[in-house]
Amino acid sequence: MTDHILNRRNFLRLTAVGGGAVFMSGLYGHALAATAGQAAAPYDDFYFVQLSDSHWGFSGPPNPDAANTLKKAVAAVNALPTQPDFIIFTGDLTHTTDDPKERRKRMTEFRDIAGGLKVKTVHFIPGEHDAALDNGAAFKENFGATHYAFDHKGVHFIALDNVSDPGARIGDEQLEWLKNDLEKQKKDARIVVFTHRPLFDLVPKWDWATRDGDKAIALLMPYSNVTVFYGHIHQEHHHQTEHIAHHAAKSLIFPLPAPGSQEKRTPLPWDPAAPNKGLGFREVEAEIKADKYDITELPVPKE
Amino acid sequence: MDSSRRNLCLSVAAGFGTLMFGGILDAQGAAKQKTKERVIKIQAKRFVYTPNEITIKKGEAVVLEFTSLDFVHGFNIPDLKIRADLPPGQITRVSIKPEKAGVYDFLCDNFCGSGHEEMSGRIIVK
Q: Report pLDDT digits (tens) over A56-104.
A: 999 999 999 999 999 998 988 898 888 888 999 999 999 999 999 999 9
Question: Would an 8 Å CB–CB cutoff place A128 in contact with chain B?
Answer: yes
Using an 8 Å Cβ cutoff, are A243 and A290 in contact?
Answer: no
Q: Which residues on A lie below 8 Å from B72 (Cβ)?
A: 166
b/e burial code for range B1-11 (CB count within 10 A of at least 16 → b): eeeeeeebbbb
Q: Does A1 or B119 have the greater pLDDT score? A: B119
Substitution target in B75, B109, B111 with the highest count of A β-carbons within 10 Å is B111
Q: Give the model's confidence band at A17: pLDDT under 50 very low, under 70 low, under 90 confident, else very high.
A: very low
Interstrand relation of A155-159 and A148-152 (parallel, antiparallel or unpaired):
antiparallel
Count of CB contacts below 8 A, A vs B?
Answer: 52
A246 CB contacts (<8 Å, ≥6 apart)? A198, A199, A200, A227, A228, A230, A237, A238, A239, A240
pTM: 0.82
pLDDT at A2 over 50: no
CA atoms within 13 A on the CB side of B9: 11
For chain B, positions 59-88, list CB contacts with chain A under 8 A.
72, 74, 76, 78-79, 85
Residue A99: exposure state from Cβ atoms within 10 A (0-12, 13-18, ≥19): exposed
B28 CB contacts (<8 Å, ≥6 apart)? B90
**In this predicted model, what pLDDT tens digit does every residue of B69-94 receive, in sequence order?**
999 999 999 988 899 999 999 999 99
Which strands, in side-by-side order, build the sheet including B48-50?
B48-50, B38-45, B62-68, B91-96
- Where in chain B are the domains? 3-125
Does the interface ipTM go beyond 0.85? no
Three-state SS string over A93-137 comes to CECCCCCHHHHHHHHHHHHHHHCCCCCCCEEEECCHHHHCCCCCH
Q: What is the pLDDT of residue A91?
A: 97
Q: What is the pLDDT of residue A278?
A: 73
DSSP A154: T
Partner residue opposite B114 with nearest CB, options A97, A163, A201: A97
pLDDT at B15 over 90: no
Of the candidate ranges A75-89, B22-36, B47-61, the one whose mean pLDDT is the lowest: B22-36
pLDDT at A38 over 50: no
Distances (CA, A) of A155 to A95, A232, A248, B103: 31, 24, 20, 46
Q: Give the model's confidence band at A28: pLDDT under 50 very low, under 70 low, under 90 confident, else very high.
A: very low
pLDDT at B119 over 60: yes
Interaxial angle between packed helices A213-220 and A172-183, expressed in degrees from 0 to 180 and rounded to the nearest 10: 10
Q: What is the pLDDT of residue A69?
A: 92
Using an 8 Å Cβ cutoff, are A224 and A233 in contact?
Answer: no
DSSP A5: H
Chain A: closest CA distance from residue B93 (Å): 19
Substitution target in A202, A205, A261, A266 with the highest count of B β-carbons within 10 Å is A205
Q: What is the pLDDT of residue A295?
A: 52
Chain B: closest CA distance from residue A149 (Å): 26
Q: Which residues on A lie below 8 Å from B105 (Cβ)?
A: 205, 263
pLDDT at A128 over 50: yes
pLDDT at A54 over 70: yes
Interaxial angle between packed helices A100-114 and A66-78, expressed in degrees from 0 to 180 and rounded to the nearest 10: 30
Question: Would an 8 Å CB–CB cutoff place A163 in contact with chain B?
Answer: yes
Q: Which residues on A lie below 8 Å from B68 (Cβ)?
A: none
Q: What is the pLDDT of residue A277?
A: 76
Q: Give the model's confidence band at A126: pLDDT under 50 very low, under 70 low, under 90 confident, else very high.
A: very high
Chain A: closest CA distance from residue B68 (Å): 16
Q: What is the pLDDT of residue A120?
A: 94
Partner residue opposite A205 with nearest CB, options B72, B78, B111: B78
Q: Does B101 or A297 have the greater pLDDT score? A: B101
Q: What is the mean pLDDT of residues A158-180?
A: 98
Using an 8 Å Cβ cutoff, are B86 and B60 in contact?
Answer: no
Question: Would an 8 Å CB–CB cutoff place A268 in contact with chain B?
Answer: no
Q: What CATH code would you report for B3-125? A: 2.60.40.420
Q: Give the model's confidence band at A21: pLDDT under 50 very low, under 70 low, under 90 confident, else very high.
A: low
Identify the CA nearest to A263 among candidates B28, B53, B33, B5. B53
Question: Quick check: B109 and A263 CB within 8 A?
Answer: no
Q: What is the pLDDT of residue A293?
A: 52
Partner residue opposite A205 with nearest CB, options B105, B110, B111: B105
User: In one letter, which amino acid is B61?
Assistant: A
Q: Does A23 or A185 have the greater pLDDT score? A: A185
Query: Average pLDDT over chain B, rounded to whole?
Result: 80
SS3 assignment, position A82: coil
Q: What is the pLDDT of residue A229?
A: 94
Identify the CA nearest to B107 among candidates B68, B52, B58. B52
Say how far apart CA B12 and CA B49 lie, in whole Å: 19
Q: Where are the beta strands (DSSP E) in B14-111?
A: 18-20, 38-45, 48-50, 53-56, 62-68, 73-77, 82-86, 91-96, 102-107
Residue A40 C-alpha from the chain's centroid: 25
Domains defined along chain A, listed by start: 2-298 (3.60.21.10)
